[in-house]
């Protein structure tokens, strides 16, 4: 475990000042009580950050994540970071995603964004850059299901956000689907389960990025970690038939910048 971020009990909290405590949840699917319990637990252990990685909604996002805003206003202390899941983005283009879910939290939690549902947040106390990705980069309000889209604009923004990480900072990436190009069929079947004829059986494999060729986020993060470059690598968004090119140069990133980890949801399991 990286020594910048680690879990520990409330009794340890008073004696340690150089660690950030992070509470993380995902896929609560409209269960207000579960989210309320999450915020109450976070307050009880005096957590510094609350990460909520999508699918707060059940099956309609029409009211956005407004109850997250209400709970954050009551329990949060400026460290709540959310990213949107496929259930949160049904029938919503990028503008509506921002207006419904990100804008209410933006000022209180000091997000740096440009009217988009993807953003980053810098914390100078714990020297963390928290980057939230929205892989549902829709230009219209049609129903897209679980199909992911990553636009050229968001990919360029993600690369620049990593490349400009301040010296001495660690990076956490938040995104709803897993950033795992290394999962095999057996691992995925252990994660995805469903009830059939009252017996629990494994589900078929679900792609981490439904509708996107390759693993663009993995490729970019790997280059960031190794402080190398990517030139002219492309991937395709099947949902809108767009091709995106990755050009990234991380050779000038400070040696004391580190990748802390990826926080995700979608699989309905503990990672």
Strand partners, 136: 149
DSSP the chain: --TTB----HHHHTT--S-B-EEEE---TT-HHHHHHHHHHHHHTT-SEEEE-S--SSS--TTTTHHHHHHHHHH--S-EEE---TTTSTT--HHHHIIIIIHHHHTTTT-B-SSSS-EEEEETTTTEEEEE--SB--SS-S--TT--B--HHHHHHHHHHHHTPPTT-EEEEE-SS---SS--HHHHHHH-EEEETTEEEEPPP--SSTTBSS-HHHHHHHHHHHT-EEEEEEEEETTTTEEEEEEEE-TTS-TT-EEEEEE--SSSS--
In this prediction, residues 158-173 reach a mean pLDDT of 97
Q: Which tokens go with 24?
A: 């993380």
C-alpha dihedral sign at 270, 99, 114, 105: negative
Half-sphere exposure of 95 (CA within 13 A, CB side): 3
Q: Which tokens go with 214?
A: 């390759």
In this prediction, residues 98-119 reach a mean pLDDT of 93
pLDDT tens by residue, 136-162: 999 888 888 778 899 999 999 999 999
Range among 3-7, 139-143, 171-175, 177-181 rated most confident = 171-175
Mean pLDDT over each residue of the chain, to the nearest integer = 82
pLDDT at 235 over 80: yes
pLDDT at 268 over 60: yes
pLDDT tens by residue, 178-189: 876 444 445 444
């Amino acid at each position: 475990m990286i020594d910048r971020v680690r879990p520990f009990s409330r009794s340890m909290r008073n004696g340690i000042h150089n660690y950030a405590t992070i509470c993380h949840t995902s896929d609560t699917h409209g269960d207000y009580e579960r989210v309320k319990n999450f915020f109450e637990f976070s307050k009880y252990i005096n957590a510094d950050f609350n990460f909520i990685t999508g699918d707060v909604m059940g099956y309609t996002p029409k009211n956005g994540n407004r109850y997250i805003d209400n709970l954050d206003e009551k329990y949060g202390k400026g460290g709540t970071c959310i990213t949107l899941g496929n259930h949160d983005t049904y029938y919503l283009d990028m503008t509506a995603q921002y207006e419904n879910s990100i804008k209410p939290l933006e000022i209180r939690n000091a997000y740096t964004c440009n009217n988009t549902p993807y953003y980053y947040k810098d914390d100078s106390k714990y020297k963390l850059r928290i980057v939230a990705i929205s892989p549902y980069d829709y230009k219209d309000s049609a129903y897209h299901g679980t199909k992911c889209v990553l636009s050229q604009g968001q990919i360029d923004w993600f690369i620049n956000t990593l490349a400009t990480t301040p010296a001495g900072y660690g990076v956490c990436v938040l995104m709803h689907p897993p950033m795992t190009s290394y999962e095999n069929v057996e691992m995925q079947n252990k994660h995805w389960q469903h009830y059939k004829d009252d017996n629990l059986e494994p589900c078929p494999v679900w792609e981490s990025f439904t509708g996107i060729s390759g693993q663009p986020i993995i490729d970019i993060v790997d280059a960031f970690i190794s402080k190398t470059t990517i030139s002219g690598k492309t991937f395709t968004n099947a949902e809108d038939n767009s091709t995106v090119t990755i050009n990234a140069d991380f050779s000038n990133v400070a040696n004391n910048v580190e990748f802390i980890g990826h926080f995700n949801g979608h699989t309905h399991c503990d990672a």
